[in-house]
A and B are shown apart, each in its own frame.
Chain A
Amino acid sequence: NAGVTQTPKFRILKIGQSMTLQCAQDMNHNYMYWYRQDPGMGLKLIYYSVGAGITDKGEVPNGYNVSRSTTEDFPLRLELAAPSQTSVYFCASSYLTVNYGYTFGSGTRLTVV
């Protein structure tokens, strides 16, 4: 049972480039989330989805886009990368409600230079 799988683990982007961070879960979880983690700042919610075809903005959505065409996949798209998007990105999923807790992926470390 793989849980939540994120790819790639590391990436260096140049300013203005675009990329997609992949996230897949095999637990049939309805809820999926994207957070970014900066040193000393905890985890900030970027976007989330409560089911296929439904997405919503979180606390820091600017510069990002998401889609949820299937239950399993929740990719995060960065358009026109900026140095402020240098961070560690975590995808998570939960079953039915957040009371069941999140299962996190192992993260993608992104550097924009």
Chain B
Amino acid sequence: TQLLEQSPQFLSIQEGENLTVYCNSSSVFSSLQWYRQEPGEGPVLLVTVVTGGEVKKLKRLTFQFGDARKDSSLHITAAQPGDTGLYLCAGEEETSGSRLTFGEGTQLTVNP
């Protein structure tokens, strides 16, 4: 059983469309992070959210942490081909500390 469930697993859209990726769990997290990974490279941190209900914006990307700190979403406005990549959510469980648990990832393809 995956601790962090991401949906959808695959997403293929046209340039200019909007999209939302979800990250859900039954566990409570102290913090949650989103990463983007490109082929042949390691994941790169996009954002960290730590407060329930927190919303952070990074240009066309909007990240939200659920009020109960069990879920998160990533919304991309007017997607561009450069947004193509594997998006991973990762959470630090309240009981674990010191390490992150990763979701399975959402593979996004933005077609020109």
Contacts and interface: CB of A to CB of B under 8 A. Distances in A.
A74 interface: no
A45 B99 contact: yes
Interface in B70-112: 88, 90, 92, 98-105
Interface stretch (A11-19, A62-70, A97-105): A97-105
A2 interface: no
A51 B101 CA distance: 20
A106 B101 CA distance: 19
Contacts, number: 63
B42 A92 contact: yes
B44 interface: yes
Contacts of A98: 31, 33, 92, 98-100
A43 interface: yes
B35 to A, nearest CB: 8
B80 to A, nearest CB: 24
Contact of A58 (B40, B42, B50, B99): B99
B1 interface: no
B26 interface: no
Interface of B: 2, 4, 9, 30-31, 33, 35, 40-45, 48, 50, 88, 90, 92, 98-105
Interface of A: 4, 31, 33, 35, 40-45, 48, 50, 58, 90, 92, 97-107
